[in-house]
Each structure stands twice: as structure tokens, then as C-alpha cells.
Amino acid sequence: MVIGHQKQWQFLKQSAELGRLAHAYLFSGQEKLGKRKVALEWISLLFGQDISKKLHPDFISIEPQASPSAQASTGKKEIQISQIRELILKLSLRPYLAPIKSAIIDQAHQMNEEAQNCFLKTLEEPKGQALLILITDWPETLFPTIRSRCEMVKFYPVPKLEIENYLADQDISKEKAKEIAKLSLGRPGIAIDFISNPQKLENQKKIIKELIEISNLPLANRFQYAKEISRSGNLREILEIWLNYFRNIFIEKCSSPDDEQIKEYSFSKLKNILKQIQNTNFLISTTNVNPRLALEILMLEL
């Protein structure tokens, strides 16, 4: 079931019905919006069967994996040229059961330079009947030549009410549904994570509590906290929670500017904080930046 994104779904569905399929599509938008879910539903529609629950000989899924290079020691994953070469080989074969071959390249921004150059060739000279879907949070990191050869489909946060309605259908209480919908900030994937793993919700509350406490402490304490979380394996998750927290404050300030709890934050300060969190997350996600140094710069804004 797709939560929200009805305009995108109708566009894709009509493209299939009219036989006007592009060779490649680029699904872009924040993490956990449901881009992959929409891609799987669409391919299932094209194949005439659900591909999300079992392997299909005409469907290929590519995801980042640990690099054998020095980057592997940092824990950074990437999509390597060997994966793209294997993809091209599989796409060159005739479909076995479905009318076309199809592939999803998840976190496409993690393709290294060699992989992007190799992938560009198959976009310039597509072979056989194949449908490619690139999914990314950071489309700007892909070569402009790759972006220009893809049909762009942008995804946006889902209205809170739609998420609440979905949660109500899952027998979640009205009060709990409102809380989860608010904390998920328009991203259905986060809401689903919360109901499938309640500990994630409690963990998010704990991280927000720590953030509130650390933002009121001297700079030396904030730097120490930056040092501690830079070594954690869930740094991107922490930054996403911070981003959601300050976005909620920004939204609440627009509707209730005199609220005492948020009065200390001016609009300009909130904009600077949001920009710095996004920049820090981008650098950590796409480069080999020193996480501790990036976090210390962020701490100066809090």
C-alpha cells in the first residue's frame, strides 16, 4: 500500500497504460518518504505480480555495499563499478517472465565516479527492453549527464492527516497516531518504523531530550557530546531526528510565534540551524569528511 504520493502514482500509472515509458526514471526526495515502495508497486503493476515479497528473474535491485578499498575501514558504503557492469549484463538478456527487464538502483548517489561513468553508457545507448529507476536523497551528487537522461519524479512529505489515517487503519489509537504522525514529519517510512519497532519511538524521544539538554550547555560540553556521537553507528539517524525536531519548531513558530518554549529561537537562527544540519548530513552521507569536525561546526549554531 502506497501512503500518499497520489500525483506521482497517477503519472506513473498513466505512463504505463499509455505505453509511454522512459528508459530511466530518477525518484528524488527525502529519506523514508516511500520512494522505493512506489517503485516496487509500479514494477509490480508492470509485471502483473507482486515483486516485493519474492525474487523475480526479471527484476534487479542494486544497493551500496562495503568497498574493498580504504574507504571500507571508515564504514562507508558505495555502489561500485562491478555492480553496474553486472547490471548491464543482466539487462542485455531477454526478459524471462515479465514483458520487460527492470532494475532499482537504491541510494543512487552512492555510485562512485567509475560506476557513474559506466552507468552513463547504458543510459546513452540503452539495450533491449529495460526500465531503470534510480532512487536518491541527493540527486545533485549525480552527474548532470545522468540526471538529464532520466525522467524526474520528485517526492514530497505526505500530509500528516494521511499518515494518521493510515495508522488508524492499523488499529493505532487516535492519540498515538497523532504523536507518530507529528514525529514522522510527513515521512511514512518513519511512521512504519515506529509501529513495527516501538523502541525506535522511545529512542527518538531520548535523542530529542539529549539535544534540548546539550543546546543549553557550554560549548566545551557540546564538543564533548559531538565527540561521543561521532563514534556511534547511527549518526545519520541522529541528524535526521535533529532536523525533524527543528523543523517542527519552525512550523510551530509560524503558527504560534509567542509560545514561550520556542520564543528563544528566531526565524533566522532556526534557518541557520536547519541549513547546517542538512549540510552536515550531506557531507557525512556523500563524502569522507571527519564526522567529529563536521559536528563541532554544527554545535556552534545550536
Residue 70 scores a pLDDT above 70: no
- For the stretch 179-217, pLDDT in tens is 999 888 889 999 999 999 989 889 988 999 999 999 889
- For the stretch 86-103, pLDDT in tens is 999 998 889 999 999 999
Q: Provide mean pLDDT across the span 214-233.
A: 91
**Confidence at 83, pLDDT banded by 50, 70, 90:** very high
191's grid cell: 511512521
- What burial letters (b/e) apply to 33-49, b meaning 16+ CB within 10 Å? bbbbbbbbbbbbbbbee
User: What distance in Å separates the CA atoms of residue 52 and residue 55, rounded to the nearest whole number?
Assistant: 8
86's grid cell: 553486472
CATH number of 197-299: 1.20.272
Residue 53 scores a pLDDT above 50: yes
Q: Provide mean pLDDT across the span 242-265.
A: 77
Q: What is the pLDDT of residue 265?
A: 81
β-strand pairing of 65-66 with 77-78: antiparallel
Sequence spans of domains, the chain? 6-154, 197-299
In CATH terms, 6-154 corresponds, of 3.40.630.30, 3.40.1350.10, 3.40.50.300, 3.50.50.60, to 3.40.50.300
When the pLDDT of each residue in the chain is averaged and rounded to a whole number, the result is 89
- For the stretch 137-151, pLDDT in tens is 999 999 999 999 999
Q: What is the pLDDT of residue 79?
A: 95
Helices 291-299 + 219-230 axis angle, to 10: 150
Q: What is the pLDDT of residue 4?
A: 92
Q: Which residue has the cell 515521512?
A: 187
pTM of the model: 0.84
